[in-house]
Amino acid sequence: MKRHLLISLGTLLWATAPTFAANPPGAPDPVRNPSSPIMLAGPWVPANPHEIDFDRLPRIPSKHAVVSDVLGAGGHRVNQHNYLVHFAGRFWAMWSDGPGESRGQGKVPGHDRAGQVVSFATSPDGLNWGPIGRLGSVPDPGYGWIARGFWVREGRLLALASRYQAPGYAGPGLSLHAFELATETPAAWRHLGLMFDDALNNFAPARLPNGEWMMSRRDGRQDVHFLVGGVKGFDQWTSFNAVGYGDSSFKAEEPYWWVLPDRSIVALFRDNRSSGFLYRAFSTDHGRTWTRPVRTNFPDAKSKFSGVQLPDGRYVLVSNPHPQRRDPLTLAISRDGLVFHAMGYLVGGRHVDYPHVMHHDGHLYVAFATAKSTVEVLQVRVADLAGLEAAQPGGGPR
């Protein structure tokens, strides 16, 4: 009863909240103002967003499940790179599963070592998960596999994985491969083939407004490109340069992108130079060319992040915004995909990172890891985000 009252109150606050003004002066625009740094705005945001008390952000209600846990393996096992999809009436999760160096001194274990494989599991509801299976074969000596996400293409479920020469993906021997779900019960996969050589994507391909598919690509030099195509065949792509890893201003890592209401594209980048902020670039020609990435005012812990657009048009970004640690994991909301006006606390009190968020049937599902040693899932009611927006109004049009 108390939970239902809370939800009803949040819905009422959303319905009766004032209509906010347009984005603040100097707000970003893909054509008119691509160099704007504004990505987080509202009366609650301090001049220096690093001063936000992230541990005291409004709590977002959720249900929690554990898919896999190797924390008890003495620090010598890694579960990382979590991905979700809903296909054929079931939820599917995949992740990198491999050996890791000893934690020691409270540190999390290393990953992407030789012998790493890709594991998967399924669930009827996103909260109750079945046995863990393996995707693909054991890698050749000195090599490993990195989980790279699910792609539903022409009614078939593909699982993507990059083969790399250990340790780490950078250097020679990198290639992106596709595996096709051959039978659903029991789940069995077959190697479909090479998708693109010298490639590590960040998330699975998504549709562009012109009908093509696009996904990011990092090569063995760690430079960032975007692969466009995927229509004529799962392995038919053209690569377009975006930004070099050795850029003088930042080190671009793990990009994420989405389509804006005007059909242009925005890409966000983690900065491995530890600026503590996300970078942003735009494309107005379906990913062929990109503006120079600009440092935004959206704080970041130098960690992976994930986003999704809701059916009502709002955009959600799940990330580690604390500039000094991967704790907590938060959810931010934007009405235009450019400026975020509300941020809430999802989970924390420990090292939590590498989220993947998806929407299904009125809920958000967020996969993440604890100390690179678990696969966990949060289920969040989209209706519960109304109270968050009412608590932190401002920063964007309705």
Model confidence at 255, pLDDT cuts 50, 70, 90, reads very high
Answer yes or no: is pLDDT of 215 > 70.
yes
Query: Hey, which residues does 119 pair with through a beta bridge?
Result: 95, 134
C-alpha dist (Å) from residue 216 to 93, 176, 286, 288, 320: 21, 12, 13, 12, 20
pLDDT at 185: 87
Round to whole Å and give the CA distance between 78 and 233: 33
Mean pLDDT of the chain: 91
Answer yes or no: is pLDDT of 108 > 80.
no
Q: Minimum mean pLDDT among 165-169, 234-238, 316-320: which range?
A: 165-169
**How many Cβ atoms from other residues are within 10 Å of residue 164's Cβ?**
25
Round to whole Å and give the CA distance between 95 and 68: 10
pLDDT at 102: 62
Mean pLDDT for 73-98 is 91
> Considering the entire predicted model, what is its pTM?
0.92
pLDDT at 100: 83
Please say whether the beta carbons of 60 and 380 come within 8 A. Answer: yes
Report for 97-101, 107-111, 202-206: range of highest mean pLDDT: 202-206
Of residues 205 and 249, more confidence is placed in 205
DSSP per position, 120-188: EEEESSSSS----EEESPPPPTTEEEEEEEEEEETTEEEEEEEEEESSSS-SSS-EEEEEEEEEETTEE
CB within 8 Å of 105: residues ≥ 6 apart: none
Model confidence at 22, pLDDT cuts 50, 70, 90, reads low
Answer yes or no: is pLDDT of 139 > 60.
yes
Round to whole Å and give the CA distance between 94 and 183: 16
Model confidence at 74, pLDDT cuts 50, 70, 90, reads low
Model confidence at 246, pLDDT cuts 50, 70, 90, reads confident
C-alpha dist (Å) from residue 367 to 46, 163, 268, 311, 370: 30, 22, 20, 20, 10
- Domains belonging to the chain, first-starting first, are 40-391 (2.120.10.10)
Mean pLDDT for 342-348 is 98
Of residues 275 and 23, more confidence is placed in 275
Model confidence at 7, pLDDT cuts 50, 70, 90, reads very low
Round to whole Å and give the CA distance between 290 and 287: 7
Of residues 101 and 172, more confidence is placed in 172
Round to whole Å and give the CA distance between 219 and 346: 32
Angle at 242 between CA 236 and CA 245, to 5 degrees: 115
pLDDT at 118: 97
Q: Minimum mean pLDDT among 3-7, 91-95, 290-294, 343-347: which range?
A: 3-7
pLDDT at 103: 58
Model confidence at 15, pLDDT cuts 50, 70, 90, reads very low
Query: Hey, which residues does 362 pair with through a beta bridge?
Result: none
Model confidence at 14, pLDDT cuts 50, 70, 90, reads very low
CB within 8 Å of 166: residues ≥ 6 apart: 112, 113, 114, 115, 116, 142, 143, 144
Mean pLDDT for 188-197 is 97
Answer yes or no: is pLDDT of 5 > 60.
no
